[in-house]
């Protein structure tokens, strides 16, 4: 039986060995990853961990083994870091790493596959249409709003940080939005737009012992929570406590935990959700298995509300590092 997640557990930094903080990488989210990695590296060092930055875009992963690293903190985002491929390589190297394993990482990175799993488990997610490479002709593209209504969201299903996403208000905008998304992914995900409150909820731990942290309410200018507003703008507002009614906060946390467990996630993660204004129904949008750890990031914000400092959070995540074959 997995022990309950304990944020107050005693951790001896000396027993964690030499630690690589994987940062940078080659994905479209490299810039964000570098910011996350810098924060994590400083935090771990402040806790007495022998931590070193390691950029997989500049060095082969075999160097992790050759240079005696004992475990890995993954601060990479997007493809090549969050999609299961890196996790598979670390499994082969037999190096414990933070976050979800190969299968959960690969499924969660693909928003379409994530939706399929959630629907199979009876979890609510917005309606969608997937356009594959042979279906990007104008006639097919402009028919999508007939199925989903307007406005709608168009996005690459295997990117993060709001990269390549468009909000489509009219038929005439569909082709441009699909063309943009297709620059990042051969498939294009078109999704029903949910008007309401944007929320996010982090999770720490594994399985039945996983714990949902306080919900964060996001208030972006004109509802435009894009790449700039996520990481660089000071105009975006965040509320934690969220200000939701206690029963709504509890329901967001319940759905988040169910979504996390359905995908087989471990270590940590963060679900993005919408609370529909007209009927207060909650919809799951996606699960992030390697969330941002920048100055604007939401997991550290929620953890602080739960009484967990940024530095302590990083140490807790590192202490949970495992492989698929060694997880508790």
Question: What is the pLDDT averaged over residues 277-281?
Answer: 98
pTM score over 0.85: yes
d(CA 72, CA 21): 6
CA distances from 145 to 50, 134, 152, 170, 237 (A): 53, 18, 7, 8, 31
3-state helix, strand, coil in the chain (%, to 5): 40, 20, 40
Catalytic residues: 29, 161, 231, 270, 272, 286, 288, 292
Cβ(70)–Cβ(31) below 8 Å: no
pLDDT number for residue 223: 56
d(CA 302, CA 309): 10
DSSP element (H, E) containing 202 = strand 196-204
pLDDT number for residue 224: 52
d(CA 234, CA 236): 6
- Which domains does the chain show, CATH number per domain? 13-99 (3.40.50.20), 107-124+195-317 (3.30.470.20), 128-192 (3.30.1490.20)
List beta partners, residue 168: 152
pLDDT number for residue 161: 61
pLDDT in tens, 126-143: 999 999 998 999 999 999
pLDDT number for residue 327: 62
In the predicted model, what is the mean pLDDT of the chain?
Answer: 93
Cβ(71)–Cβ(260) below 8 Å: no
Question: What is the pLDDT averaged over residues 51-73?
Answer: 98
pLDDT in tens, 219-277: 977 655 444 544 444 678 999 999 999 999 999 999 999 999 999 999 999 999 999 99
DSSP state of 87: H
pLDDT in tens, 155-173: 999 987 678 999 999 999 9
CA 161 to chain centre: 9
Which residue is listed with tokens 């693909």?
A: 110
């Amino acid at each position: 039986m997995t022990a309950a997640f304990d944020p107050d557990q005693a951790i001896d930094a000396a027993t964690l060995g030499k630690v690589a903080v994987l940062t940078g990488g080659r994905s479209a989210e490299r810039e964000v990853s570098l910011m996350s990695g810098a924060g994590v590296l400083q935090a771990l060092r402040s806790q007495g961990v022998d931590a070193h930055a390691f950029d997989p875009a500049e060095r082969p992963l075999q160097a992790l083994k050759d240079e005696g690293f004992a475990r890995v903190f993954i601060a990479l985002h997007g493809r090549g870091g969050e999609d299961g491929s890196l996790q598979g390589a670390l499994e082969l190297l037999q190096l414990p790493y933070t976050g979800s394993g190969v299968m959960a990482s690969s499924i969660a990175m693909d928003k379409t596959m994530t939706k399929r799993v959630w629907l199979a488990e009876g979890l609510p997610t917005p309606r969608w249409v997937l356009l594959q490479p042979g279906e990007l002709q104008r006639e097919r593209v402009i028919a999508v709003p007939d199925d989903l209504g307007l406005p709608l969201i168009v996005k690459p299903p295997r990117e993060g940080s709001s990269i390549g996403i468009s909000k489509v208000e009219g038929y005439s905008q569909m082709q441009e939005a699909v063309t943009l998304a297709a620059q990042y992914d051969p498939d294009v995900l078109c999704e029903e737009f949910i008007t309401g409150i944007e929320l996010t909820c982090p999770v720490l731990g594994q399985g039945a012992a996983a714990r949902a942290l306080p919900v964060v309410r996001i208030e972006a200018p004109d509802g435009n929570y894009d790449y700039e507003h996520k990481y660089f703008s000071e105009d975006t507002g965040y509320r934690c406590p969220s200000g939701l009614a206690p029963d709504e906060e509890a329901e967001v946390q319940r759905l988040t935990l169910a979504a996390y467990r359905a995908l087989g996630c471990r270590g940590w993660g963060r679900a993005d959700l919408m609370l529909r204004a007209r009927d207060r129904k909650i919809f799951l949008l996606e699960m992030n298995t390697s969330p941002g750890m920048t100055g604007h990031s939401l997991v550290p914000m929620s953890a602080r509300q739960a009484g967990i400092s940024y530095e302590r959070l990083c140490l807790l995540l590192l202490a949970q590092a495992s492989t698929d074959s060694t997880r508790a």
